[in-house]
Amino acid sequence: MDKIYAHPKSLRNIQTHYCPGCGHGIAHRIIAEIVDELGIRERVIAVAPVGCAVIAYDYWDFDCSEAAHGRALAVATAIKRVRPENIVFTYQGDGDLAAIGTNETIHAANRGENLTVVFINNAVYGMTGGQMAPTTLLNQKTATTVKGREAGIHGYPLKISEMLALLPGVKYIERVSLHSPQEIIKTKKAIKQAFSNQIEGIGFSLVEVLSPCPTYWGMQPKEALDWIKEVMVKKFPLGRIK
């Protein structure tokens, strides 16, 4: 078998619990491949969030820790400071990182903690029933914005990556997407760069990943991918931000 198709050692071969068309499974495999390629499986520690990826530790075959909702970066900071030789990363959704966890996110970034953050942005709360998230687009319908998000009532979509890029402690931020094979290749390259930065001691690195949620977008999987390409990237442009 060609090496590119080999099952990553860092990814357990178990049945997924994610909905059809969800992007989390793709992101999980990308991270597992990177961990294997960098040879850091015995050093890496993931911090799982509260959200759709709450049981990420069921899929990754390396050390993981759980954190209270929004507190992943606080937990990661503690682990990294106690065990600086380890490679510590958080894997967080928009409801976790950019809502209840905004405070922890901003201050860990501002301190320049030598951590890697994988930020999954699907513009909606997935685990709790499809409510509006900080990243929900204007006019996007959710369980709590049944007529669409309105700026005058709900505020504007939060561009957390652009906000964090202003902080001197932040060394690397890039926004990528999972809506096509070409973009998935770019996503892997960006996340690998974020891990390499930590290995080299460069500092705080975050990769924002635009990811489909067909279930709570009310779309078929292919339609959800097209929506990212045609709608979502206009509000959240892809590319290196810092």
- The string of pLDDT tens digits covering residues 11-51 is 999 999 999 999 999 999 999 999 999 999 999 999 998 88
What is the C-alpha separation between 205 and 214, in angstroms, rounded? Answer: 28
pLDDT at 148: 93
The alpha carbon dihedral of 119, 47, 131, 166 has a sign of: negative
Rg, C-alpha atoms of the chain = 17
SS3 240: strand
pLDDT of res. 232: 97
DSSP string, 89-116: EEEEEHHIIIIITHHHHHHHHHHT-S-E
Q: What is residue 198's predicted lDDT score, i.e. its pLDDT?
A: 98
pLDDT digits (tens, 9 = 90+) for 127-138: 888 899 999 999
CA 174 to chain centre: 11
Architecture label for domain 3-240: 3-Layer(aba) Sandwich (3.40)
**In percent, how much of the chain has pLDDT > 90?**
90
Read off the pLDDT band of 3 (50, 70, 90): low
pLDDT of residue 1: 42
**What does the pLDDT average to over 141-152?**
94
Measured between its terminal Cα atoms, the distance across the chain in Å is 38
Confidence (pLDDT) at 4: 57
Q: What is the 3-state secondary structure (H, E, C) of 141-185?
A: CCCCCCCCECHHHHCCCCCHHHHHHCCCCEEEEEEEECCCHHHHH
Residue for token digits 């930065």?
A: 197
Domain boundaries, the chain: 3-240
